Chain A
Amino acid sequence: MTTRRNFLIAAGSVGLAGVAGEADATPEAMQQALRKLTGNAKVSRGKVKLDIPPLIDNGNAVPMTVSVESPMTQADHVKAIHVVTERNPQPNVVSVYLGPRAGRARMTTRIRIATSQTVTAIAELSDGTFWSGTADVVVTLSACLEEGMI
């Protein structure tokens, strides 16, 4: 799905990548990663809540909490949660696998964000359906791009 907004973001990234000299993942690469994770299943919007601060000073450690609306019973629970980005060097961020013993479908970690972009979380439910949630982030100091001080 290419919306006008996605296109503009992608077009912008070409210029940026040239300056930074680093190849970024593209929204297309993210879609590809998503297809790999979901096995081409239909992904519906909703149920997934992605908590990331909208404005980030330092992209090297960004707190992120993903929660999914689910009763987490044997019959109806979240099997997996995947987080992907569209403009990090690699689309995949984290994949977690849980079950009814989790009690709540919720996990917290700290991630790296290379540049301002949309972060997507996908939840795989026990009935085989996929749900997604997104969050837009703006980064002032990005991760990955700085030279190593070694």
Chain B
Amino acid sequence: MSRAVINVPKTVKRGEIFEVRTLVAHAMETGFRRTQLGEVIPRDIITRFVATYNGVEVFRADLHPAIAANPLIAFTTVATESGTIAFQWTGDKGYSFTESATITVV
């Protein structure tokens, strides 16, 4: 159904700031486009992205139609402990997709 690409370093030093890059396959239909018959194509976008690091929310984003298709979201976080970083995208028409990445802190 959907597909996401997550890019995090495999191992990081404790306390180091590292970048998390996420990309999810989604058309992000704006709701402003029309078909050639003049009918408005209904909006279908991802409205929210949440990243949790071992269960604690570290980053959240509210997305609007002005975000490009296949939304790329990159942010930074501090390496506190080994574990998983979980990502959740939710949006119109009941869209929900989760993905996670494991990270080892040395």
Contact = CB atoms under 8 A, between A and B. Distances in A.
Given A89-B65, A94-B66, A148 B71 contact: no
B53 interface: yes
A46 B75 CA distance: 21
A148 B32 CA distance: 10
Interface residues of A, number: 35
A94 B63 contact: yes
Contacts of B76: 102-104, 106
B100 interface: no
A107 B77 CA distance: 11
B66 A102 contact: no
A101 B77 contact: yes
Nearest to A107: B75
18 contacts: A62-B68, A92-B64, A94-B63, A95-B61, A98-B75, A101-B78, A103-B17, A103-B77, A107-B59, A107-B75, A109-B67, A109-B72, A110-B72, A112-B68, A113-B66, A143-B68, A147-B36, A150-B36
